[in-house]
Structure 1
Amino acid sequence: MKMHSLCQGNHLDLRVGQSRREFLYAGLAGGLGLSLPNLLKLEAGLTIADVPKVEAKADAVIHIYLPGGIAHQESWDPKPFASADYRGPLTPVKTKLPGVYFGEHFAKTAAIADKLTIIRSMTHGEAAHERGTHNMFTGYRPSPAIKFPSFGSVVSHELGVKNNLPPYVCVPQAFGGVAGGESMGTGYLSTAYGPFSLGSDPAQSNFAVRDLALPKDVTEQRFNRRRGLLDAVDAHFSSLEKSDALTAMDSFYQAAYGLVSSQKAREAFDLNAETAKLRDEYGRNQAGQRLLLARRLVESGVRLVTVTYGGWDHHSDIKNGFKNNAPNFDVAYARLIQDLDERGMLDRTLVMVSSEFGRTPKINSTNGRDHYPRVFSVALAGGGVKRGMVYGSSDALGGEPDSDPVSPESLAKTMYRLIGINADKRLMAEGSRPIDIVNGGEVIEGILA
């Protein structure tokens, strides 16, 4: 299995012979210590075709992605009455919803199930990690002819910057350690709409976000002087080169300056501003601190935060695999939902937990489960969805959708609708090719509050 560890959200890609851009890099990125993403590949992302506007029920989305393909039987859709070879080695726990069970290591989440909507009938046909990841980050099956943009990039394109914060942030980083993680990128849209990656893990004791602080040898006066120099250079070259690419590049630089110069923006990434008690309640571990930071970011104005956590590709020894991954996630996720609710943010923040697919109904010869896209589960909370609901179902052995099957296209359309984007809108790809934000599927009206 090919894994991608390159964080493509924060690197400048220089090309020989592009003197203006090299000069900008020398005067801005070099002098300030910034490393900004792929500025030389920018192309304008054009919108075409008017479609009816939709009312936003959510101000932001937290997309929690559990890479590897989490087993629905050991998490959101256990089969307590099946035989042991289908039920698996873990004992399901009762939730606050009558007759609804979660996996053994989801006790904290079971206690807040009345705040969740669980979709138990997700289905698609892609059993490879890369292709399944693409489905669940774009709402499209992979195509050899075109690269589709991620949810975050579309949200960035459509909704833009708020409070000088990047619209789309990946915690801890884009692409790193996720097979098919390039699906977290911009696809046919300009790289101006790419993810901002932290560059380090919030669970680390020395956690610091790159690109937010000025280097020690750069004073505020020097910072402002260099900004003035950049403006002068921009004015000169823009008069000579009128292009959408330059406009996009200049806009990106302005966003970068806003991020560095805004105290409020920098404070959004500061976990030390949280009380020690709350950090302990989330958990002083990867799951806890990543989800706590996600809450801080959407609270401050980030439109969509993608959080990746754990490794859930349990072909063998699924019992210990869940023991190693699930307890920290259970604590952190339950505390996130409670925290958002306590702050009055849950109704305006959509929290979505997904994975590329589920696992086979029957335990295999190595006490694990294999890739299985025919039926799996997704958890939603807040942001305009109902509380305390199970939507759809799998059959008695967890092998097929039994009612109300949901495709990645329908999930994507629903997410976009909730954040105020009509997914029937068309965007322009390279070659003047109009592409639907989502092609097919329908909004899942039954889960909307």
Structure 2
Amino acid sequence: MLSLYERSNHRSGDCSRREWMRIGGLNALGLSLPALLAKTAEARGDDVGAQTFGRAKNVIYLYLAGGPPQHETFDPKPDAPAEVRGEFQPIHTNVPGIDFCELLPRTSTIADKLAICRSMATDDNTHSTSGYWVLTGFKYRGTNAREISPTDWPHIGSVVQRLKPSANGPFGFAWLPEPIVANPGVRISGQTAGFIGRRWDPHNFTCDPQRTNFSIEEFALPDDVPPLRVSSRASLLKQINHHFQAIEQHSQNQDISRLRAEALDILTTGKARQAFALEREPAKLRDRYGRGKWGQSVLLARRLIEAGVRFVHVQWPREPGDLTSSAPTWDTHAKNNARVKSVLCPQFDVAFSALIDDLDSRGLLDETLVVAGGEFGRTPTFNAQGGRDHWGPVFSVALAGAGISGGQVYGSSDAKGAYPRDGRTPPQDLAATIFHLLGTGHNATMPHPNGRPIHICDGKPMYSLLGLQPATQARRAATGKIEPIPDFLPIYTPQQNT
């Protein structure tokens, strides 16, 4: 289901007329904000910063909810004791000196395109607050992170949508296939536009793209009604007007006319609907991504950025009946080894490697930033249930694409994968890197509801990971054993059409 604005009790943080006049004046002089920021980078003598500023047109953020174990993904510890390293072995990637866990054989063949940060840290072992920090770039300062509040700091994608809206897409920020839901069914903070207003919320698509004849209900039209007639249908207009009249009753400053126009554009133009037409993709390519809910959602993300969407958040989906599970999503409190081997790593490995290869083959990787990571990592030792518990002191994040110098690892964890050994990186530096590559700049400001400008980020870009060429030209054969793509359908049971 497409959710335009699920709630209407937030005030907008729209730019004032004075601000727009000031920005317009700069543009009239030929001085756009990105150009000014790029000039600032050049003035600092920051060659890498200047070269990579604004390289990304789009972002695909693969959010591995629950917290992937660093040991079983990008930071294996073969020399650690058995109770730390686990049962899986490292494998060589195609870059000398970089090993991944054997559960990522396909990803090991594209390491030359990846930059891995092995020293991300929040020191926060709580899903809601650590995740909030990762997704917004700011620590949680509220009273209850297990509920969404209009005072929340906005998701990175919402900030991007406001400061650098999509130039030719149907919307700027898309979220699929479902929201972040914590046990026992709680929507947590960090996934909305927060204090900048509901206008900048993501367009939420709760969907199951693995279904046969998959479609977005809101985009479906009667067979006898072409798109040009829809805009004149009184019933549709009445529904949309009624929706925004409800918003007006609880808002003082929102640009309701623009919201109505966006809603009509999404519903009546073909661009958004076509982006979700997975049946147009070759069956072989759909197979390559994996036919489960996760893989097909990642494929949808690629189609959305092709349609002009600036920022796409792909949420790792829940499994049927797992709201009372001790090991939902990547939250492997029990049977960690079985979960990562049979369910989690295979799906991620297949879809992530497919996305990078697909973007590269289409010439889109040079202009698309891909980020893959969760809210924290897992403990360096196993608990009594054979699981790894929450661990914020150190975890890994993978980046690829526009402005990322692949074939390298930044930072490191200690011998047990428990704490950063060097290069400790807080989430605000990841946010700053995203803003830098998109060309908004990490020092940019936006209006706060109190009327004063506020900086969008207090971190610094990870310049060590940036560049226009791979960090090394050295290559070797990856040693992972690539099995046939598993059948993921039993893992995520498709919903039946009713």
TM-score where L is the length of structure 2: 0.76
* 1:185 corresponds to 2:192: yes
> What is the DSSP-based 3-state SS (H/G/I as helix, E as strand, rest coil) of the residue aligned with 1:435?
strand
1:250 aligns to 2:257 (yes or no): yes
| Contact persistence 2:179–2:206 (CA under 8 A) | no
1:260 correspondence with 2:267: yes
The amino acid across from 2:340 in the alignment is: F
Task: Name the structure 1 match of 2:85.
Answer: 87
Query: Structure 1 residue 144: deviation in Å?
Result: 1.6
Q: Residue 300 of structure 1 corresponds to which residue in structure 2?
A: 307
Structure 2 residue 12 is matched with structure 1 residue 43 = yes
TM-superposed CA distance for 1:433, in Å, is 4.7
Match of 1:144 among 139, 142, 145: 142
Matched, 1:271 2:289: no
- The CA deviation at 1:126 is 1.5
Which amino acid in structure 2 is aligned with residue 166 of structure 1?
F
Q: Which of 174, 180, 201 does residue 175 from structure 1 map onto? A: 180
Q: State the alpha-carbon separation in 1 of the partners of residues 204 and 397 from structure 2.
A: 24
> Distance between the aligned counterparts of 1:261 and 1:221, measured in 2?
7
CA distance in 2, matches of 1:220, 1:210: 15
Which letter maps to 1:143? Answer: R
Which residue of 367, 370, 383 maps to 2:402? 383
Question: Which position in structure 1 is the counterpart of 2:476?
Answer: none
Distance between the aligned counterparts of 1:228 and 1:276, measured in 2? 38
Out of 320, 326, 339, which is 1:321 matched to?
339
Aligned position for 2:465: 447
- Return the offset for 1:113: 0.8
Determine the structure 2 residue equivalent to 1:166: 171
In 1, the alpha carbon distance for the partners of 2:297 and 2:237 equals 35
What does residue 27 of structure 2 align with?
none
The residue that corresponds to 1:207 in the other structure is: 214
* Letter of the structure 2 residue corresponding to residue 317 of structure 1: K
Q: 1:172 touches 1:199 (CA, 8 Å); kept in 2? A: yes
The answer to whether the aligner puts 1:10 opposite 2:28 as a matched pair is no
1:133 to 131, 134, 137: 131
In 1, are the aligned partners of 2:178 and 2:205 still within 8 Å (CA)?
Answer: yes
Question: Counterpart of 1:121?
Answer: 119
Q: Which amino acid aligns with 1:295?
A: R
CA distance in 2 between counterparts of 1:134 and 1:306 reads 14
Q: CA 1:225 to 1:42, structure 2 compared with 1: closer, same or farther past 3 Å?
A: farther
Measure how far apart 1:367 and its partner are: 1.7
Equivalent runs, 1:366-405 vs 2, <5 Å: 366-405=385-424
How far is the alpha carbon of 1:434 from its aligned partner? 3.6
Is residue 410 of structure 1 aligned with residue 422 of structure 2?
no
Equivalent residue, structure 1, for 2:75 = 77
TM-superposition CA deviations, 1:343-391 (whole Å, max 9, x none): 1111110000010111111222222211111111000001111011111
Contact 1:282 1:288 in 2 (8 A): yes
Matched residue SS, 1:314: coil
CA-to-aligned-CA distance 1:259-311 (integer Å, 9 cap, x gap): 22222232111111101111111111122211111111111111011111251
- How far apart are residue 124 of structure 1 and its match? 1.2
2-side partners of 1:194 and 1:75: how far apart?
32
The worse-fitting range, judged by mean Cα deviation, of 38-47 and 198-207 is 38-47
1:204 maps to a residue whose letter is: R
Given candidates 130, 147, 158, the residue that maps to 1:153 is 158
Deviations 1:88-136 (A, max 9, x none): 1222222112232212210110111111000001011221000111011
Structure 2 unmatched ranges of 5 or more: 24-32, 39-52, 144-150, 318-328, 468-498
- Would you say the 8 A contact 1:119–1:392 is kept in 2? yes
* Distance (whole Å) between structure 1 residues aligned to residue 345 and residue 236 of structure 2: 51
- 2:215 and 2:275 mapped to 1: Cα distance? 12
Mapped contact 1:282–1:335 kept (Cα < 8 A) = yes
How many Å apart are 1:215 and its aligned residue?
A: 5.0
Residue 200 of structure 1 aligns to a residue whose secondary structure is: coil
**Aligned residue in 2 for 1:27:** none
1:280 corresponding residue in structure 2: 287
Aligned equivalents of 1:435, 1:353: Cα separation in 2: 28
- Code of the residue aligned with 2:3 in structure 1: it is N
| 1:221, distance to aligned residue in structure 2 (A) | 6.1
From 279, 296, 306, the equivalent of 1:289 is: 296
What is the TM-score normalised by the length of structure 1?
A: 0.84
How far did 1:39 drift?
5.2
For 1:249 and 1:401, the matched residues in 2 are separated by 48
Q: 1:205 to 1:181 in 2, by over 3 A?
A: farther
The amino acid across from 1:343 in the alignment is: R
Give the conservation status (yes or no) of the 8 Å contact 1:86–1:397. Answer: yes
Q: How many residues align?
A: 412
Equivalent AA in structure 2 for residue 188 of structure 1: F
Cα deviation 1:26-65 (Å, max 9, x = unaligned): xxxxxxxxxx543564524337698743441101000000
Provide the identity percentage. Answer: 37
Partner-residue secondary structure (3-state), 1:307 = strand
Q: Using a 3 Å threshold, how does the CA distance of structure 1 residues 270 and 245 change in structure 2: closer, same or farther?
A: farther
Residue 357, structure 1, aligned to residue 359, structure 2: no
The residue matched to 1:399 in structure 2 has which SS? coil
